[in-house]
Structure formats: C-alpha cells, structure tokens
C-alpha cells in the first residue's frame, strides 16, 4: 500500500510528464499483432475516470480506435532532458522522464465530453488554442473516435544527474564525461500562405515558443 504522501508525489510526477509531452505512443493488439501508434493526446486530471482521464482520438475507421476498447492498452510518453556521456560505453545513459498508463479505455459517446476531450487534445499541443478556433462541425465529430483511459494504473520513471562511472575510469582521467542538456526548440511562427488580412500572431502561440525557450 502506498502512503498518501508517496501517492501524491507519484501523481505529481505523472502529471509533470504528461503535461511536458506533445505526443504519446498507443500500444494495442490489432488482428493478433502488437501495434504501437504515435498520436497526440489530452489530459484531464479531474476527468470522470478513476484518478483522471487521458484522452486519445483518431479516425472512426482506424483499427486501433475500433479494437482498443475490447482490451487493455498501453500509452507511453517520454521526455528527454539530457544526454549522459560517461567514460565507458557501458555507463552512457540519458536523463529523461517517462510515464506509462495502462488500462481498458472506453469510447466517449457523450457529446459534451467529446468536445471537452478534443479541446484538451488541441490544448496539449498549444495551450489555449481551442478557445481561438471555430467549433467542431457535426461532420468532423462523426468522423472522429475518442477514447478515454483512466489514469489510475500508471508508472513513472526518470533519471537525472551526471554519469556514474567506475572508480578506475575516473582515476584514469583521460576521457571527458558530462551531460549535454536537451530541450525543445521552436522557431518563430510562420503564417499560412493563404492567411488574409493583417492578423498578428496571437499571444497563446507566442507563449508556446517562450515557454520552450525556458527549457
């Protein structure tokens, strides 16, 4: 049994990874074969499922979306924070944060929840974006499948710090060792070729770049 403090720390670590990532990988069995699909996702920590809800979406014709509710699936996200260069090949590593959420998803049928889920997925990529775009059309909603996965069964792993070398390799002192930090870099927003009128880059788009530059 996890202590309350430990459980709270683990949940905070899970939300940190999920909020930091822009893409996940969905693992599902399709026609008897494991399939791992990169996809965007959305998170609602206060969602209707146990310990919150992770939302996935795709085409209604996608076999992954069709087959997923009939089985346990796995959703994985990873954020790389640094390349750890040791004095030996054996001790090379990476600093990272990763989360794995497993469970049986449900199809989201409620109209209001579907819209909230799709907005959360848009905002996962660019926070605040969903408030600035037009509403989903009936045709778009009909073409989109939405899955909800409880965040109750999840694990988080991470590594931080420098290389951990053998004493003998450190004493030799003939190989550089250290960490190369890794962070997301975003360039200036480029307007669409068919953008008409004098529409400035909105603040929520600029914020994505500024937040990425903070590392």
Q: Residue 132 and residue 129: Cα distance in Å, rounded?
A: 6
Maximum distance among all Cα pairs of the chain, rounded to whole angstroms: 68
Of the listed ranges 1-10, 137-146, 195-204, 205-214, the least confidently predicted one is 1-10
pLDDT surpasses 60 at 2: no
Q: Which two tokens stand for residue 157?
A: 């792993």
Average pLDDT in the 46-51 region? Answer: 96
Q: What is the average per-residue pLDDT within 171-192?
A: 94
Position 213 confidence tier, pLDDT thresholds 50, 70, 90: low
Write down the pLDDT at residue 1: 44
Q: What is the pLDDT of residues 87-120, one digit of tens each?
A: 999 999 999 999 999 999 999 999 999 999 999 9
Mean pLDDT (the chain) is 93
pLDDT greater than 50 at residue 3: no
Q: Residues 54, 43: contact at Cβ < 8 Å?
A: yes
Number of Cβ within 10 Å of residue 120's Cβ equals: 19
Which run of H or E residues covers position 206?
A: helix 203-213
Q: What per-residue confidence (pLDDT) applies to 197? A: 81
* 93-103 vs 73-85, strand pairing mode: antiparallel
Within a 10 A sphere around the Cβ of 139, how many other Cβ atoms? Answer: 8
Residue 108, SS3 per DSSP: coil
Q: What is the DSSP letter of 135?
A: P
* pTM, to two decimals: 0.91
- At a CB cut-off of 8 Å and minimum separation 6, what does 78 contact? 21, 96, 97, 98
- Phi-psi group of 52: left, alpha or beta (phi > 0 → left; psi -120 to 50 → alpha; rest → beta): left
């Amino acid at each position: 049994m996890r202590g309350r403090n430990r459980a709270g720390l683990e949940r905070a670590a899970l939300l940190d990874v999920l909020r930091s990532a822009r893409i996940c990988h969905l693992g599902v069995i399709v026609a008897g074969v494991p399939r791992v699909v990169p996809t965007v996702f959305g998170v609602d920590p206060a969602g209707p499922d146990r310990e919150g809800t992770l939302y996935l979406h795709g085409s209604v014709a996608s076999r992954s979306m069709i087959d997923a509710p009939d089985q346990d699936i796995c959703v994985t996200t990873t954020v790389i924070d640094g390349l750890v260069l040791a004095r030996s090949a054996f001790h090379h590593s990476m600093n990272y944060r990763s989360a794995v959420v497993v469970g049986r998803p449900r199809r989201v049928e409620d109209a209001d929840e579907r819209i909230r889920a799709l907005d959360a997925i848009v905002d996962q990529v660019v926070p605040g974006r969903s408030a600035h775009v037009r509403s989903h059309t009936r045709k778009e909603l009909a073409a989109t499948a939405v899955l909800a996965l409880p965040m109750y069964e999840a694990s988080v792993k991470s590594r931080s710090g420098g290389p951990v070398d053998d004493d003998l390799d450190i004493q030799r002192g003939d190989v550089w060792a250290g960490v190369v930090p890794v962070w997301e870099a975003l360039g200036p927003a480029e307007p669409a070729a068919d953008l008409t009128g004098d529409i400035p880059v909105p603040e929520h788009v600029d914020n994505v770049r500024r937040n990425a530059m903070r590392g």
